[in-house]
Amino acid sequence: MTIAPAGSPDGPAGAPGGLRPPGSRPRDEDRRTRKPLPLWDRIKFLLLLTLLWFVLVWSSMANDPILPFADAARIELRSGLWVIILAGLELLRQAHFLISEHWAGYHQFWVRHVFGGFERLTRRRLSDWTRFRLWRLFTWVFWIAVLALIVGGITHSNPVTALLSAPAYIWRALPFVLQIMAGVFFVIIQFGALFWFLSRGGVDVYFPDDIKTRFSDVWGQDHVLERVKENILFLEDPELVESHGGYVPGGILLWGPPGTGKTLMAEAAARPAARTCSSTPARSSTCSWAWASSRSSRFSASCAGWPCATAA
Amino acid sequence: MTRVRIPGRPVIAGLALALALVLAGCAAPQYTYVADTTAHAYFKVPRVWTKISTAALDKVTGAGTPGGAWTVGYDASRPASPNHVLSLVPARPFVYAAVGQVTRAAANTLSYNLLRDSFLPVTATARQTATQNGFPLTGFRLLGSSMLELAQGIHGIRETYDYTYKGGRVVTFDQIALTNADDTEVYVLLVHCLSACYSRHQAQINTVLKSFTVRSP
């Protein structure tokens, strides 16, 4: 039987012997390489820039009825060069990420020496709030600049002029937008709402890394916490427990007034499983093993390979 | 060991397609697309032809100033010159385009014949009047004439004719003159060069003239 290391089952990887709870993954901060990106994160900006470029091509064709697609594309490869440059930079960034995911030395160089140095410098000079505000300002300026370039590209005018005249364009387009919105609200939304109400009680999938809560995050209710941990140990190998005459509980019901930590505890119980979990509204859950309940039930999770780790 | 998901075939295919598009697009477009977006008049000329600015053209023709007319020229000759529009005989095609507004009073008298005579005298009456006023070109010969009926009530004529300059050099003019449904705008596109040059570049000139598109605002 695999037994979790001494101390908390979700304790740090630096726990005695450097062991981790069975089946768990290394913590993000202990990784030597970059955490692999999901496919969507790899391609989303490239897709966005591709779409943007096609919008510019479409705009050129819409402004000139004799302009064929091939020539519009060629023209936009020149006049819309900034889109191509941004796409190139994004491609470079993704290549950098891909190398970082495979090569620990390369990743550590960037994390410790390049960004680490910048991080330490800004931490020394600026408070966290100032850093946050500066980053937020940078993000706003960046997206406004991108918007100006897009509007400038579509209207074939200077980006600054285009940005200043954007309110006029919006005002002019407002009647059409309102018509579309009316269509959306009266035709589509009612069907969407109908299907949403009918489909309530659906299942959300949580991947192991999505759950950050640990038992160390749960303060108070120590006696309940110990019982939950104990049951998790039973569930490591229920057949073995039962073959020795033991009894593995089919579930736990956490009951109590709101705000007493039921959900937190259930999330923490799901964490050491380190398996893909599915979450259902507690009302519709058929989960058998742990169950937290209050008048406002919120969360329940069943984990693949485990009977259930649940909160509501 | 951490398993890294390598981008699948669709992603690689997508990247290859994007790269192919970029490489294919590196070639410059074959044509220069010319537009008067205010009057919604469009045409295309081969990319290697040189643009003659409106100011330079207006200086030569004296047109453009009244009513804020839009004029533009494209010259296939090297070096390009605004004088090729009229006074010098171009050995390579020269394109002249003009869009102008017509006053309400003039719109009532606008006819196909007036469109024919919009650049050089083509109708017999106009030629006779021009000759009496000392018009220097002689040897008029009509090569082709057709009436055009386009979408949105745009209508006009296409005339192809020769004129002989001093020194016996025959120049061929191919001209489209259009007006909108209520005759308040006139759109002219004219290509001309030496007769031999016209025969040699006829396909190219046809492409330019056929691309002439006007949309009613």
Q: Assign residue B141 the CATH number of its domain.
A: 3.40.1000.10
Confirm whether A282 is domain-assigned. Answer: yes
A4 or A191: which leads in pLDDT = A191
H helix and E strand count, chain B: 7, 10
The confidence score (pLDDT) of residue B55 equals: 80
Q: Please check whether residue B154 is in contact with residue B179, taking contact to mean a CB–CB distance below 8 angstroms.
A: yes
Q: What is the average pLDDT across B107-120?
A: 85
Clarify whether residues A66 and A83 are in a common domain: yes
Mean pLDDT taken over chain A: 76
Q: Decide if A10 contacts A232 (C-beta within 8 A).
A: no
Question: Do both A208 and A182 map to the same domain?
Answer: no
The answer to whether B96 touches B85, Cβ cutoff 8 Å, is yes
Q: Do A217 and A250 belong to one domain? A: yes
Which residue range forms the structural domain that includes residue A209?
A: 204-303
Beta bridge partners of A291: A253
Closest CA–CA distance from residue B169 to any residue of chain A (Å): 35
Query: Tens of pLDDT along A96-116?
Result: 999 999 999 999 888 888 888
Residues of A in contact with B43 (CB under 8 A): 66
Tokens standing for A68?
Answer: 């064929």
- For residue B82, give Cα distances in angstroms to A76, A113, B97, B99, B191: 30, 62, 13, 18, 14
Chain A residues whose beta carbon lies within 8 Å of the beta carbon of residue B29: 70-71, 74-75
Asked if pLDDT for residue B11 goes beyond 70, the answer is: no
Per-residue model confidence (pLDDT) at position A56: 87
Cis ω on the peptide bond leading into residue B90 (within 30° of 0)?
no
pLDDT of residue B120: 87
Helix (H, G, I), strand (E, B) or coil at A49: helix
Residue of A nearest to B30 (CA): A71
Residues A180 and A234 in one domain: no
Structural domain includes residue B5:
no
Q: Is residue B120 part of a domain?
A: yes
Structure tokens at A208: 């192991």
Residues A179 and A270 in one domain: no
Q: Please report which confidence band the pLDDT of residue B24 belongs to, taking 50, 70 and 90 as the band edges.
A: low
d(CA A309, CA A232): 9
In this structure, the answer to whether residues A231 and A195 fall within a common structural domain is no
Q: Which of residues 7-66 of B touch A (CB under 8 A)?
A: 7-8, 11, 14, 18, 21-22, 25-31, 33, 35, 37, 42-44
Q: Do both A257 and A227 map to the same domain?
A: yes
CA B96 to chain centre: 5
> Distance (Å, rounded) from C-alpha A79 to C-alpha A57?
10
Residue A134 lies in a domain: no
Q: Which of A183, A199, A215 is the last residue of a domain?
A: A199
Q: Do B5 and A73 lie within an 8 Å CB cutoff? A: no
Domains: count for chain B? 1
Range of the domain at B85: 30-214
Chain A interface residues facing chain B, Cβ-Cβ under 8 Å? 31, 33, 36, 39, 42-43, 46, 50, 63-67, 70-71, 73-75, 77, 84, 101-102
- Give the pLDDT band of residue B19 (cuts 50, 70, 90): low
Q: What is the pLDDT of residue A311?
A: 42
The SS3 call for residue A78 is helix
- Order across the sheet with A277-279: list the strands: A204-206, A277-279, A301-303
Please indicate, yes or no, if residue A74 is contained in any of the structural domains.
Answer: yes
Which of A153, A182, A199 corresponds to the end of one domain?
A199
Residues of B in contact with A13 (CB under 8 A): none
- Residue A186 within any structural domain of the chain: yes
Assigned domain for B111 exists: yes
Q: Could you tell me if residue B161 is inside a domain?
A: yes
Q: What is the pLDDT of residue A96?
A: 94
Is B210 part of a structural domain of the chain? yes
Residues A187, A219: one domain?
no
Higher-pLDDT residue of B68 and A68 is A68
Using CA atoms, how far apart are residues B72 and B191, in angstroms rounded to an integer? 12
Distances (CA, A) of B122 to A15, A50, B116, B157, B170: 99, 52, 6, 12, 15
pLDDT in tens, A129-159: 999 999 999 999 988 988 888 888 777 778 8
Helix A69-79 vs helix A81-102: crossing angle, to nearest 10:
70
CA–CA dist B57, B87 (Å, integer): 12
Q: Is residue B18 part of a domain?
A: no
Q: Is pLDDT above 90 for A308? A: no
The structure tokens listed for B76 are 């296939």
Predicted pLDDT of residue A94: 93
Contacts of A63 in chain B (CB under 8 A): 35, 37
Is there a domain that residue A29 lies in? no
* Residue B12 included in any domain: no
A31 contacts B35? CB cut-off 8 A: no
Give dist(CA A63, CA A84) in Å, integer: 22
Domains in chain A, number = 3
Instruction: With H, G, I as helix, E, B as strand and everything else as coil, classify residue B175.
Output: strand
pLDDT in tens, A54-89: 988 988 898 888 999 988 988 888 888 888 888 999
